[in-house]
Amino acid sequence: MSKIMYSLGILAFAIFIFLWISLKNEWVTTIDLVAAHLLKGNGFIIAFHYIGEQTFILTIAVLLLVWLWIRDRNYRGMMFTLLTIGGGNMINQFIKEWVHRARPDIPNQLASFSFPSNHAMMSVLFLFTIAYFMTEDKRKSTFSIIVRLVAILLAILIGLSRIAEGRHFASDVAAGWTLGFAWFVIVWAWYVRRKKWQNT
């Protein structure tokens, strides 16, 4: 499992870097336009953006921290949560300011920069973090599979909602997903190794 996670994390980061250096290429622009045309105005998908709002994520993060503390004083789990969600948000904002990519040109557009999508990145980080702790001791059960699939589906829908709403380009969303997963794997690897050291 660890080897698969590491490989997927490296692949995700490679895709993110590739998207970053390809932003001005014509094929990226074409994909962005096609995705915008296919999803624009889809009310069902747009509704999922609420799950990716910072207020909602912050609330869930605080509840998760409290649950980890009350359940078994899992301080490393609390640090895991702070690193994935808090650290991930800081990384996202730093890269946005560095890249300075303008958002799609629509009325009443947001003032912040576009690449990578914060909603897409944070949806992966907070949903995967919740899914991990919900299935930590039930890795191969049917429940574990369902929880992980739900987390993946919701992360996809939250990201797509930003395209449907015209707030981001498809390449912003793909970059958010891949960077979010790469950062999740880094923090996950730290957590798992620390847990093994404790048990030896």
pLDDT of residue 196: 63
Task: Take residue 99 and report the two structure tokens written for it.
Answer: 């890249």
Helix (H, G, I), strand (E, B), or coil: what is residue 62?
helix
**175 — pLDDT class (breaks 50, 70, 90):** very high
Cβ atoms of residues 133 and 68 within 8 Å: yes
**96 — pLDDT class (breaks 50, 70, 90):** very high
Peptide bond into 107 cis (omega under 30): no
Lowest mean pLDDT across 9-13, 132-136, 148-152: 132-136
The structural domain count of the chain equals: 1
Find the domain containing 27 and state its range.
2-199
- Does the pLDDT at position 72 exceed 90? no
If phi > 0 it is left, if psi is from -120 to 50 it is alpha, else beta; for residue 41 that is left
**85 — pLDDT class (breaks 50, 70, 90):** very high
Task: Take residue 87 and report the two structure tokens written for it.
Answer: 């650290």
Cβ atoms of residues 170 and 32 within 8 Å: yes
Q: How far is CA 106 from the centre of its chain?
A: 24
- Does the pLDDT at position 13 exceed 60? yes
